[in-house]
Structure 1
Amino acid sequence: MTKEFNPAPHDKHADDPKQAAPADKKQRKLEKGLEDTFPASDPVSETQPKPSKD
């Protein structure tokens, strides 16, 4: 029996999907924020501002 040819072997340098998921989620939130504010002059911030003391 011969070994089956795999045209896309496992990439040992690829990111672990479990570790990449939070970064992907953050990126999707940023993209959604950009779409919701288009057209605008101010870029979307990836973090929320701290609440004011007033």
Structure 2
Amino acid sequence: MSEFDEYIVHGEPGQKEKADAWQTAIGLQDVDGLKVSTYLLDTARQRIDDDIYRRNVE
């Protein structure tokens, strides 16, 4: 189970797409042996919920 399954299963279409993209990015970090920070997960959730915008994440 991923951090974003709730969005993927029950989210609105835009949320599902964003959650899937974040899940993929985090999975790639895991493949590279990188530990996912709490900050990254919090930022991803805020972005999925449109609480912050792309320019704030970059």
TM-score normalised by the shorter chain: which range applies?
A: 0.3 to 0.5
TM-score norm. by structure 1 comes to 0.40
Q: Which has the larger radius of gyration?
A: 1
Where is the helix percentage greater, Structure 1 or Structure 2? Answer: 2
